[in-house]
């Protein structure tokens, strides 16, 4: 039983790893810079493993989710700033996922885009209201695994493995190419898309929904390390597909449909439908996670009852929060903005709030008074602070780079 | 330097009380310690009289402009929880009574009654 739990946990973490922002940025990064940004995928993946492990450990030992800690350690002023920023970023991400799902459905059915957005909204409200937490986690995580079709695709396109390996060594494009700024922008966007903050919020809140105790610390470690590493492999395959499929044709993966076409070009109709279904479940999982995160964060910050483990009647403000977020997210994409544009902004702004979220988390997880024997060891401390420096630099550079590169247009 | 826990018999108000979640006797979260009311005059020992909860308590802790915004949007409601109600300090602060008796969680209760009419609102999902 325990083994099965672990296995499912790992697969869920892998299946929930990719969303629309990551998909677009990975494919474009491959298309523009060949394999040169693969090291960033590795860097980001280890980063999310480090913070995911810490957040899961604190949740298991202290039963405290992330925003409880933010409030306690950062106080009301900085804490409220972090809360507002994180809710805005999650809302934008949720909007992008809903828009992307409507695009996918449009590709499959030919129905009007705006109608499909409303249909997606209704779908999400019903699913989150009626389906229990475990069910949501498992359905969308496991079916999101259909995205492995892209790993198969990358494999079947016979990349030059020597070149792929070289991509894991950091390198900067030569000065003459004039793409240095764009390269820097993509570096930050890829780190951010892999380390999206909602992943840790959701993971820690989920650990409390599942009533983890210090006995689950081994499970926590295995799930984040193996699950996120496999997720990283999936992300890296998207980059490889981007290089091999988009690179030669100079196409920018502006739409999720491009990814589906890449699968169709190799595996035919089966590839197309697997890719579409995989993307649907992966994006839907992300939409649900981001909407729930807004509700988790707000409720935890103000000390309201929260959680899917409570009946909606006993946690009504929590429920009201996620309902409002879904509706607002749908309104954002109903205005007609391009979901891929929305996700670009959400990803760049996400990196700005990463340090605000992770500082309180580091402060509490290394504190022996509150964590006892489960406080950070040398490895978690060293890696934690190393990544804190990395995300702080990225946070400072993100918005100037967004402006300098005209939103990644070069 | 790592911060230390206070000597036995003392409470570190800033680290152990302020901004911690309150949990009532039925294990239900019912707000945060948004502010603290102290009593005592200069030269006398200071004591915690009560924990204050609500937008009227945390709003004024923000910069002036935001404080006004909170007052306008969330009102100035403050609930006073007497210090004698505190049963236990820890990750969360445990109270001796039920939230409703203390006047906490009223919004949730009102909203909850409204939600109760919807199908599935009572279902505890695991």
Q: What is the pLDDT of residues B6-58, one digit of tens each?
A: 667 788 888 889 999 999 998 899 999 999 999 988 998 888 999 999 999 99
Q: Which of B5, B111, B120 is closest, CB to CB, to A320?
A: B111
d(CA A341, CA A252): 13
A99 located within any domain: no
CATH number of the domain to which B71 belongs: 2.30.30.240
Task: Find chain B residues with C-beta within 8 A of A368's C-beta.
Answer: 2
Give the model's pLDDT for residue A328: 98
Q: Is residue B59 part of a domain?
A: yes
Chain A residue nearest residue B28, CA to CA: A305
Q: Could you list the residue range(s) of the whole structural domain that residue B90 is in?
A: 13-115
**B115/A319 CB distance under 8 A:** yes
Q: Pick the closest to residue A303 from B23, B14, B16 (CA basis).
A: B23
Q: What's the length of chain A?
A: 410
Question: Closest Cα to residue A201, out of A292, A66, A320?
Answer: A66
B21 shares contact with chain A (CB less than 8 Å): yes
Which of B2, B22, B124 lies nearest to residue A303, judging by beta carbons? B22
A368 to B2: CB separation less than 8 angstroms, yes or no: yes
- From chain A, pick out residues whose CB is under 8 angstroms from the CB of B121: 311-313
Residue A119 forms part of a structural domain: no
**Contact status, residue A225 vs residue A379, Cβ threshold 8 Å:** no
The shortest CB-CB distance from A62 to any of B34, B91, B105 is to: B91
The predicted structure's pLDDT at residue A83: 95
Window 93-122 of B: residues touching A by CB (8 A cutoff) are: 105, 107-108, 111-112, 114-116, 118, 120-122
In a domain, A208, yes or no: yes
pLDDT in tens, chain A (410 residues): 578 778 878 877 887 788 898 998 999 999 888 899 999 999 999 999 999 999 999 999 988 888 998 999 888 999 999 999 999 999 999 999 999 999 999 988 999 999 999 999 999 999 999 999 989 988 998 898 999 999 999 999 999 999 999 999 998 776 656 688 899 999 999 999 999 888 889 999 999 998 999 999 999 999 999 999 999 999 999 999 999 988 777 666 667 778 888 888 889 999 999 999 999 999 999 999 999 999 999 999 999 999 999 999 989 999 999 999 999 999 999 999 988 889 888 888 889 889 988 998 999 899 888 888 999 999 999 999 999 999 999 999 998 998 888 877 76
User: Dihedral of the CA atoms A111, A112, A118, A123 (nearest 10)?
Assistant: 20
B-chain residues within 8 Å CB-CB of A303? 21-22, 29-32, 53
ipTM summary value: 0.91
Contact criterion met (CB < 8 Å) for A132 and B125: yes
Does the structure show a pLDDT above 60 at B2?
Answer: no
Q: What's the structural domain count of chain B? A: 1
CA-to-CA distance for B56 and A173, rounded, in angstroms? Answer: 55
Segments forming the whole domain that contains residue A42: 3-90+132-271+343-404
Q: How many domains does chain A have?
A: 1
Contact residues, chain A, for B91 at CB < 8 Å? 62-64, 68, 370
Residue of B nearest to A59 (CA): B91
Structure confidence by residue, pLDDT tens digits, A80-97: 999 999 999 999 999 999
Establish if A409 belongs to a structural domain.
Answer: no
Cβ separation of A312 and B4 shorter than 8 Å?
no
B42 touches chain A (CB under 8 A): no
Contact between chains at B120 and A130 (C-beta distance less than 8 A): yes
Residue B4 is predicted with a pLDDT of 57
A240 to A23, A25, A67, B59: CA distances (angstroms):
12, 12, 36, 51
**Residue B109 in domain:** yes
Nearest to B112 among A77, A130, A314 (CB): A314
Q: Which of B29, B120, B121 sits opposite A304 (nearest CB)?
A: B29
Q: State whether A133 and B125 contact (CB < 8 Å).
A: yes
Q: B5 in a domain, yes or no?
A: no
Give me the pLDDT at residue A175, please. 61
Distance spanning both ends of chain B, measured CA to CA: 42
Give the C-alpha distances (Å, rounded to integers) separating A162 from A36, A51, A95, A167, A172. 12, 31, 39, 9, 18
Which H or E element spans position A81?
helix A66-109
Taking CB atoms and an 8 Å limit, are B29 and A319 in contact across chains?
A: no
A323 touching B (Cβ < 8 Å) = no
pLDDT of residue B1: 37
Inspect the interface and report whether the beta carbons of B115 and A369 lie closer than 8 Å: no
Interchain CB contacts (distance < 8 Å): A and B: 94
Q: Residue A17 has what pLDDT? A: 85
Q: Is there a contact between A310 and A333 (Cβ–Cβ < 8 Å)?
A: no
Evaluate the CA torsion angle A143, A147, A149, A152 in order and state its sign: negative
The answer to whether the Cβ–Cβ distance between A367 and B2 falls below 8 Å is yes
Question: Do A303 and B3 make contact, defined as CB atoms within 8 angstroms?
Answer: no
């Amino acid at each position: 039983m325990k083994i099965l739990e672990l296995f499912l946990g790992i697969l869920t973490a892998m299946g929930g790893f990719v969303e629309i922002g990551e998909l677009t940025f990975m494919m474009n990064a491959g298309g523009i810079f060949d394999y040169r940004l693969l090291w960033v995928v590795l860097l980001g993946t280890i980063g999310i493993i480090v913070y995911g492990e810490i957040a899961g450990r604190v949740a298991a030992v202290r039963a405290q989710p992330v925003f409880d800690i933010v409030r306690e350690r950062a106080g009301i002023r900085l804490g409220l700033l972090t809360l507002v920023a994180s809710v805005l970023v999650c809302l934008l991400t949720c909007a992008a996922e809903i828009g992307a799902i409507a695009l996918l459905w449009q590709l499959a059915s030919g129905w009007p885009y705006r109608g499909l957005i409303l249909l997606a909204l209704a779908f999400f409200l019903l699913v989150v209201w009626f389906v229990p937490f475990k069910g949501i986690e498992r359905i969308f995580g496991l079916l999101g695994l259909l995205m492995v079709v892209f790993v198969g695709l990358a494999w079947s396109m016979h990349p030059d493995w020597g070149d792929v390996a070289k991509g894991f060594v950091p390198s900067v494009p030569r000065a003459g190419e004039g793409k240095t700024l764009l390269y820097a922008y993509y570096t930050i966007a890829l780190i951010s898309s892999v380390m999206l903050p909602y992943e840790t919020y959701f993971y820690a809140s989920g650990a409390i929904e599942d009533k983890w105790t210090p006995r689950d610390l081994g499970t926590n470690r295995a799930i984040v390390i193996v699950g996120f590493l496999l997720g990283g492999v999936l992300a890296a395959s998207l980059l490889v597909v981007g290089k091999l499929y988009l690179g030669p044709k100079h196409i920018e993966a502006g739409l999720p449909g491009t990814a589906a076409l890449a699968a169709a070009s190799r595996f035919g109709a089966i590839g197309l439908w697997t890719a579409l279904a995989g993307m649907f479940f992966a994006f839907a999982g992300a939409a649900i996670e981001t909407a729930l995160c807004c509700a988790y964060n707000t409720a935890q910050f103000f000390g309201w009852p929260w959680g899917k483990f409570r009946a909606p009647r006993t946690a009504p403000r929590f429920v009201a929060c996620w309902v409002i977020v879904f509706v607002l997210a749908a309104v954002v994409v109903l205005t007609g903005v391009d979901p891929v544009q929305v996700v670009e902004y959400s990803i760049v702004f996400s990196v700005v709030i990463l340090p605000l979220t992770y500082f309180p988390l580091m402060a509490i997880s290394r504190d022996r008074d509150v964590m006892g024997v489960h406080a950070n060891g040398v490895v978690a401390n060293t890696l934690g602070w190393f990544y804190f420096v990395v995300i702080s630099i990225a946070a400072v550079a993100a918005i100037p780079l967004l402006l300098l590169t005209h939103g990644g247009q070069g | 330097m790592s911060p230390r826990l206070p000597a036995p018999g003392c409470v570190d108000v800033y680290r152990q009380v302020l901004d911690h979640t309150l949990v009532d006797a039925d294990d239900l979260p019912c707000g945060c310690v948004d502010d603290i009311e102290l009593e005592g005059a200069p030269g006398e020992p200071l004591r915690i009289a009560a924990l204050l909860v609500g937008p009227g308590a945390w709003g004024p802790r923000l910069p002036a402009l935001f404080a006004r915004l909170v007052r306008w949007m969330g009102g100035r409601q403050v609930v006073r929880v007497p210090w004698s109600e505190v049963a236990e300090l820890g990750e969360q602060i445990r109270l001796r009574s039920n939230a409703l008796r203390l006047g906490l969680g009223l919004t949730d209760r009102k909203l909850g009654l409204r939600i109760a009419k919807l199908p599935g609102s009572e279902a505890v999902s695991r």
